[in-house]
Amino acid sequence: MIRLIEKGLMFGNLVHISSPALVERYNRALRHLAGKSTALTDFHVDISGYSPEVGIELDDPLYLNPNGVNRQFILLTTEQKRAPLLNVKFSTSRDILREFIEMNEAQLFALTATDAVAGELVNSVIKLTTPRDLLNLRKIEIEADTAGGTLRKAEQLAGMVERFKTEEDAWFDDVLIAKMIETARETGDVTRNPVRLRHTAFEQRNFWTAHFGGLYLFPDLDHPAAICMADVPDDLPLKHVFQKAQRNQIAKFLGLNNLVETIIEARGVDSSAILQQKMDFLTVSAAADAGVDMAGLDRSDMRRLARNHADRLPEAYHGLAQLLRWAKDGGPWPRITSDHPAYFYTLRATDTPNRDLVNMLLAEMAPLDPRQMFICHKELFYRTYATWPEAKKAYVADFLAREYQVDKAGARAALFGHEPDMSGSDRVSDEVIARVGPWGAVGRS
């Protein structure tokens, strides 16, 4: 994956931890959470404090995410809110962490000035044994404190202050007064500067999980359903549970809940340009399978490739071409139903609270569009990228670096309407590139 890292398309915007003080705080928090520590003197962390280098060192990519359910985190700086989340198991985790940091930024800034803040995204399930358990993950609560227990001690001090104010003869309780003074040395004056974290409970309604082969759960809709990327489980207590291959049923579910619109009917986008780019990606896929070198392709080259490899082009290409002819030249309206391979390539999510999740699902249903996959479903993109021929890897990496990285916000707006930063990625530091070897990357792929 070195090519992606060098172009800022992978491991971007991780926070570099190099000062001895921060490394020591990290180790204190790591011992507190997991009973482990690192011998590394510098490394990079994501929004949760997970470090790929430490994961390699400990031979445990889930050292801060035991069982892949209750994600733990280590905050050394509030700047981590801009970092991505690696090894994602639930689509909601990064948003929850970022919102928690932003809602408590002043308090966390003060706490991380002297210590690391360690915590956990807690729910009622400690280990998933069946898909049914996923529907119990409705509420996520964040428990957090410094490694030294500053918040716990501040709460104790607040209680002692209340006793001192209200209990008779507390003025003469030397033990109480001495304990208050001792605790205040660690917490500061909690009467003037109360140390308290707020907004620590979050609802997890509709979400994606990597567990059980990949599941999209939509229990909180008028017409609820689950969509499975692997085998359909038999114990999900939802009336409708679909496999990826059940395209008609998935399309009907998306339509009944008003979750999608066609690119053609979307306002404020250049639908012709989007359709043409999707067709180009389908052309590239066919040409790459034929072993064609695709360095430096322009528009005329892409047309030539499509002509020369017409017999290899997937049926989805021809459906998009019919739609493009209608959009540009007023040709006959093509009948593209959910049975047609082009169908999900023609859709984007409507502007609802489930927009990001739906665009993520559409990326799985239209797997030959690497741009949408990269923007909306990075875990799937990296996994799929590793299976491509070298020519396709090079073309897609160059395209994303050239066309997407230079104006990410503009690209997302053009494709999907106004979008939040779904990636958390930005520039990759030189240190990350230099140290990619220990992370297990091999070659130029």
In the 3-class helix/strand/coil scheme, how is 368-431 assigned residue by residue?
A: CCHHHHHHHCHHHHHHHHCCCCHHHHHHHHHHHHHHHHHHHHHHHHHHHCCCCCCCCCCCCCHH
Core vs surface per residue 116-145: b (16+ CB within 10 A) or e:
bbbbbbbbeeeebeebebbeebeebebebb
Q: Which of 197-211, 232-246, 290-304, 387-401 has the lowest mean pLDDT?
A: 290-304
Give the number of C-alpha atoms closer than 13 A to the C-alpha of residue 109, restricted to the C-beta side. Answer: 6
Q: Of all residues in the chain, what percent carry a pLDDT higher than 90? A: 48
Q: Which of 22-31, 175-184, 421-430 shows the highest mean pLDDT?
A: 22-31
- Judge contact between 385 and 4, C-beta under 8 A: yes
Query: What φ, ψ does residue 261 adopt, rounded to 5°?
Result: -140, 160
Which range, of 136-140, 142-146, 224-228, 263-267, averages the lowest pLDDT? 263-267
The burial of 228, by beta-carbon neighbours within 10 Å (0-12 exposed, 13-18 middle, 19 or more buried), is given as buried
* Residue 246 pLDDT: 95
Q: Which residues contact residue 172 at a Cβ distance below 8 angstroms, ignoring those fewer than 6 apart?
A: none
Measure Cα distances from 314 to 27, 275, 295, 425 in Å: 52, 15, 22, 32
* pLDDT exceeds 80 at position 180: no
Mean pLDDT check: name the lowest of 182-191, 284-293, 298-307. Answer: 182-191
- pLDDT tens per residue, range 389-406: 998 999 899 989 888 776
For residues 187-200, average pLDDT: 62
Specify the range with the lowest mean pLDDT, choosing from 168-177, 194-203, 249-258, 338-347.
Answer: 168-177
Q: Is the pLDDT of residue 35 over 50?
A: yes
Q: pLDDT digit string (tens) for 114-147?
A: 889 999 998 867 778 888 888 888 889 999 988 8
Q: How far apart are CA 335 and CA 323, in angstroms?
A: 9
Residue 176 is predicted with a pLDDT of 66
Contact 350, 362 (CB under 8 A): no
Report pTM: 0.83
CA-nearest of 180, 183, 199 to 151 is 183
pLDDT at position 326 over 50: yes
CA atoms within 13 A on the CB side of 267: 2
Burial class of residue 175, CB neighbours in 10 A (0-12, 13-18, 19+): exposed
Longest CA–CA separation in the chain, Å: 94
Q: Are strands 207-209 and 117-122 parallel, antiparallel or unpaired?
A: unpaired
Which residues, other chains included, contact 273 with Cβ-Cβ below 8 Å and sequence gap of 6+?
414
Burial string for 185-224 (b: 16+ CB within 10 Å, else e) reads: eebeebeeeebebeebebebebbbbbbbebbbbbbebeee
Q: 201 near 141, Cβ under 8 Å?
A: yes
CA angle centred on 382, ends 377 and 385, rounded to 5°: 115
Reduced to 3 states, what is the DSSP secondary structure of residue 201?
Answer: strand
Q: What is the mean pLDDT of residues 13-19?
A: 93
pLDDT of residue 303: 82
Cα–Cα distance measured from residue 262 to residue 315, given in angstroms and rounded to the nearest whole number: 19
Name the average pLDDT for the chain: 84
- DSSP character for 348? E
The pLDDT assigned to 60 comes to: 94
d(CA 19, CA 389): 41
Place of tokens 């359903």: 225
Query: Scanning the structure block, which residue is given the tokens 């020519």?
Result: 391
